Structures are given as C-alpha cells and as structure tokens.
Chains A and B, each alone.
Chain A
C-alpha cells in the first residue's frame, strides 16, 4: 500500500522524509514503512520507523474560530475542493482533510534472515520514490525473533506473544481475520540475558509481567518460574491451573504454587555473617565490637558443626552466653561452666597457653583495637567488660529478631525442588514481611539457586543440591533488592547472577517503578527492557542511560504511553517496538482498592444494623430460652 512520496534526506544521514496527505490516518509515530531499492543486485524492502510527523499545510486560525464549525467546511465554503478526501466523507463531497504531512523516518534496513538482523544498506530513497506501509504479516515476520503461528493463533515454541504493535489495530488471535501485528518475544533471550520491566505506578507492570508469565507457562514453553511478590499481587495466577490454554493433551498441565508469607522459611544456618549483620543493624546498626562478637559466635557454631548439619539459634545463643559470662547455655537450657567446656578452636589464640577464658580476653583486646580503643596492652587475664556487654546486647537483639520473625527457622527452609520445576510457577508472597527480612530472604534464596545451578552445570553434589533445569526468577520492587548508591545483602548476588547467569541458566526479571533508585549496573545488565509510562524525569534519564537499543525519540514517548502500552527493546526483539499489551487470560490481581466504595458500604443499612447489634452487646441470633424480650432482631428494628 503506497502511502507517500519520498521528499529528501532527514536530519541525520540515517533518516529520510516523505510527504503524505495520510487521509486514512495510518502513518502514526512508531509506524513501519518501507521503500524498495536494489542492494547487491537484489531488490530489497528497506524498512524504517516513523519518528516524527510534521504538518505542512494547516488551516488558518480564523477557520478554527467557531467550535461548532469544521475547518474543512470553511475551506469548502471558500472554494477549496479536496479531491483526495475519501468518498463518503461525513462532511459531504469534496469536503475532507486538507492536511499534508512531512514524515521523518529512521532507516532500519532490510531484514537479513541469515543474520537475523536488520542491515542498513545506506541507500536513502531518491525524491519521488514511493513509500509503502509495511503489511502486517511481513512486519510480524521481520520484527519478531520467534515466529507467530497464524494457524494456531499463538507463538511458536520459545516465543511469548505479549501483545501487538501499537501503531496497528489490536491483534486478537480469536478473530476470523485478525488485523494487527502480533509481537512475539524470544523467551530464550529473556531467560538467558535477563529482562527489566520499568514503569511508573499504575502503568501496568504486574499486568505485563503476568502476561509474560502466562506465555512462559503455556505448553510451548513450560517454564520454571519463581515470582518474588512483595505485595501479594500475583495470587490470581493460580487460575492458570484451570485454564485450558495451559495444558496440552494430558501430557502437560501448568502448575502454580503460591507460598504465603508465613510459609516462607529460611533456615538460620543458611544466613551468613553479612545477612545477620544486615538484619541486626536495621535500626541502630552494629558497633564494631558487636560485629566482632557476632563473627566469633558464628565461627564457633559453624566450627562445632563439622558434619555440616545445620546449627540452631540455641547454638548461637550458647556461643554468646559463653562470651558473656564464661558460661555455656545448652540446648536444654542448663548452664555449664566454660572452664568445663572447650572453647572454640577457631577463636582461641594459638599462642595462648593460659586458662580457658583467655581467648575471650584476646577477643576483647582485638575488638577494642578494631573499635579504636586506647586500651593499653597487658590486660591479659582480665575479662573485657565492653566485649561482654556487646555479647549481651547482641544476644538480646538476636532473640528479638528470631522471636518476631516466623520466616527464620531452625529446621525448615525453602526446598528449591518444591518451588522450581518445569511447568511450575511459584509465587513467593513476601507482603507483611519487614523490608530487611525480605532482602535477606531473597539473598539466601538467590544464593541457593545460584549454587544449585552451578552444581548442576559442574555435575557435582547430590540431586537435592542441584537444579537440573534453567530457572527464571521475577523480582518485583527490584529497587529494594539492588538500590542505587547503597549496598544491601541482595546486591552482590544479583550482580553475580546478572553477569554470569547466562552460563548457568539462571534468568532474572526485574520489575521496578523507580529506575532512578535502581543500581545502574544491575539495570544495564538486563538485556531486554519493557518500558511503560514513566513521568518522572529523573527516572526517564535513568532509563535512557541504561537502555542502549531504544532511540531517544522512542524514549520521548514514555510519558505519553497509556496504561497497557509499552516499549520493548533489547535482545528479545529484532528492533525496539511500541506495543499494546494483550489481555490477560487470568484475572488481574494488582487492582487498586476502591476506598470510596468501602466508605459507602459503612453507611449501608446492613453495616449500620450490624454495628448496632455489636454495640448493644446482645447476641445476634435468637435466644434459645423462653424469653426473647431483650433480643434485638433486625426485623424488629
């Protein structure tokens, strides 16, 4: 379909312009057009993307003076006959749009099937060359890295049909003759080189993520996904279990498992010194001596478990008790004197041949030095009061922490094989869990997954210690787990996975509403980016810095995107695309609460009567006794 005539070069060598009346209003920003040129003896279609639309011919202002008067009618009144107006125009014969546009196009090139990429032949169109609108099917073929099966109405294996091209009609596979261009992402790229969904609040992050999860759980992909859900927005994914789209002739049925926050368990022995320090330092931080005591206590309990079995909180308390009083608290709660027990070899000063408490004295001195203490040498043999105080404080903090949090357990821990399995999507709900504890839980989990995948790649460890298939982890509120200008316990492991996850089959999807608060290294490692509406300028510039493949004119659309519209760029598509996200198969869970509706309910007759019954202190049901004199029934009132 010819839509215009080439006018000349654009602002850069990579651009050209063409002129069109665009009476059918088809040439939108981000639309794809092409011209034909001979490249190395072969006629090629040189594809380009519309980046700017400049009106060339406008009505005079005076034609726009009356709100009820169509400027086209004014033009017709003074004798302007628009012969290009489509017949049957509502304004009458000869009356139509008089507009003319200059369209700026960024040249992408022709699609080379062998390279699976666009090749720019650097042959700009000559003036007068015809410019065509790219047909839907041809466009779907060259834009998507994985083909769309038009007969089946879904992506081919390894693809994720997430929506359709924004500049074309909304694509619906169920339609008899579907219009539009389906956008199919390459799931292999997403899982291998990670992805990020960046958007402002309410722009549809979790909706898009759920669409992606749905696609990955279909029989064409059968993925193993874990969703870290700090807000409890993904519970509706459980509907996947009963939807026919997620099963295949009895050979496959997708599963979804929601792990509520009280069932998210991390074994305390899986916590590292840094995890503990991070958890304990939530409010006031840890002093130098406290950190040192914690390190020694952990060394001691870990050293005592040479058989690699898990230590418990009691072991840790016992180690701290030993440091406080020289007494060791046993698991039975009894206290044994330290002189009767053996101090930890790791903490003992090898040069010391004195009493059993000498290692503790040295601990005090060393820590005193670390903390900048001016305590003179020669205090050997005298218990260090400061260190004992630190041990007591640490003991109190640890007991408070573990008593308050049901998520850290002596025995139970997340079994990776329960949450990771091909065809299983697990949703780890972390809502109502303290932010720092969320971070530690995620850090431990990522470490476990990373280690299990490395074991599988290296062929070491028992089957329980390995994950024999690639996994994909979707991390909501990613800026909490890899914040900019701050190190939290998750930052390092996330960076490791993002940098090396490709080798070991650990894919990560980051979702954030504050890209400006997300570590820039982390964001730039996500090679596929989904950008939804972002209004905040700081966030926009962060995205622009991190997203290399999307051009500035595409990013300029970010504040103008509507809900459900997104820009996809990076490894999963052949070129950055503006898309309209498809409708979810499952219901959407991230819906805002209806506060006015809830307030109105307060004044409903039912709610008012219930309150009166509650306030009266009388039972609501009819009394079983003989008298019902004092019974307030709703009917009686």
Chain B
C-alpha cells in the first residue's frame, strides 16, 4: 500500500486535502495511479490504534507558485537550485479526498464518520483486497456511503460514482453483485452522460 501524501487541510468534516509526496520525499515515490481520480485511500485517525478513515480521491489540485510570476529573473534556471533551493518544493500536487467510512480491524462503517483526521496524517491508497474488504458489510456487498458521496457539491460527483462502481465491478464478479452494481452503474451513467444534455 503505497503512501501517497499527508493531510494538509480540510474543507469540511468529510472533505480533506492531501498533499502528494514530491519525488524522493518518501522511500517509494507515489505513482500517479495511486492517487488517481476515484481511488480509495485511507488515513489513520490515531496512530495509537488501528482505526482508519477510508476516503476517495475526488479532485486533483496542482500547486505552482511560479505561475503568474512572468517577469525576467536574475538567475538562470540552471542556477535556481543553488540560489533558491526551497523554491522547487513549492510545486506540489494536492488531491481532494472525501471520507466515506471507517475501518477498525474487520469492522466497517460506511457514511459520515464521527471522528476527524489530524493534520499530517499519512494517506495511503487501498489495494484491491482492502477495497473489497471495505465493501463487505455482514458479508454482503455494500455501498452505504453512496448517498453522502453524491450529495457532495463537486461537479464531478456523478462521474466519481461511476468510476467507483466500475472499480467494484472488477472486484465483485459474483452474478448477484454484478446485477446490483450494473443497475447502479446504469443510473450513474445516465446521470453523468445523458442528463447534462437533456
């Protein structure tokens, strides 16, 4: 489970901003697919226990202080690393994360959680097994976070729902689960593709 970054800010109780680690900032640089749109991620609520908040990457923000400074500089770009070493790290990638549940051991809770993440909490992406485990409640496929997810104000929310369901379609191949997911996928597909044109 690659660590992708740390929590730097929150917009609300469920909406956090995670700054993705820059190259060589960690042992394993995060790959772009680790913090891709719709990726499930988790972050420990308290390092002292195993409660982790599970969220979904819903947005990506590129931070670039150089943008807008269009005037000439005295030092050439090749010397910038020597003359202003902190300047480079100001370029960063941040991702927006919606918290959709809580995992504590084998227990899973979907929806708005009561606890919040601390600043600097390390965010790591969920692998397929963890993602599947997070979606099993009482050994049944569950997406109990979906209502709170789609109530988010992001314009990408229906596309996000569709992306999430597509992931789950590959993780839950059982026919019964496939029928349920395809029914949901059809709904989101309509909402994302047809309704905006109507």
Interface residues of A (CB under 8 A from B): 62-63, 65-66, 68-69, 73-74, 76-79, 92-94
Contact = CB atoms under 8 A, between A and B. Distances in A.
A495 to B, nearest CB: 65
A634 B39 CA distance: 85
B147 A77 contact: no
Contacts of A62: 183-184, 186-187, 190
Interface in B94-140: 110-111, 138, 140
Contacts of A65: 183, 186-187
Given A78-B146, A78-B147, A94-B138, 4 more contacts: A62-B186, A66-B182, A79-B142, A79-B146
Contacts, number: 44
Which of A66, A79, A94 has the most chain B CB atoms inside 10 A of its CB? A79
Contacts of B144: 78-79
Contact of A78 (B138, B140, B143, B179): B143
A77 B145 contact: no
Contact of B179 (A69, A76, A92, A94): A69
Contact of A79 (B143, B179, B186): B143
A94 to B, nearest CB: 8
8 contacts: A63-B183, A74-B180, A74-B183, A76-B142, A78-B144, A79-B142, A79-B143, A79-B146
B8 interface: no
Contact of B183 (A69, A92, A93): A69
B192 interface: no
B178 to A, nearest CB: 10
A85 to B, nearest CB: 14
Interface in B142-179: 142-147, 179
Contacts of B22: none
Nearest to A94: B138
Contacts of B186: 62, 65-66
B182 A79 contact: no
B111 A66 contact: no
B141 interface: yes
A68 B190 CA distance: 20
B189 to A, nearest CB: 10
A78 to B, nearest CB: 5
A79 B180 contact: no
Contacts of A79: 110-111, 142-147
Contacts of A78: 143-144, 146-147, 184
Contacts of A73: 180
A66 B179 contact: yes
Contacts of B183: 62-63, 65-66, 69, 74
Contacts of A66: 179, 182-183, 186
A98 to B, nearest CB: 13
A288 B115 CA distance: 105
Nearest to A78: B146
B142 A69 contact: no
B155 to A, nearest CB: 20
A348 B126 CA distance: 122
Contacts of B111: 79
A93 B179 contact: no
B160 to A, nearest CB: 15
Nearest to B182: A66
A88 to B, nearest CB: 15
A76 B140 contact: yes
Which of B111, B142, B179, B190 has the most chain A CB atoms inside 10 A of its CB? B179
Contacts of A68: 179
A406 B40 CA distance: 96
Which of A66, A76, A77 has the most chain B CB atoms inside 10 A of its CB? A77
A62 B182 CA distance: 11
B179 to A, nearest CB: 5
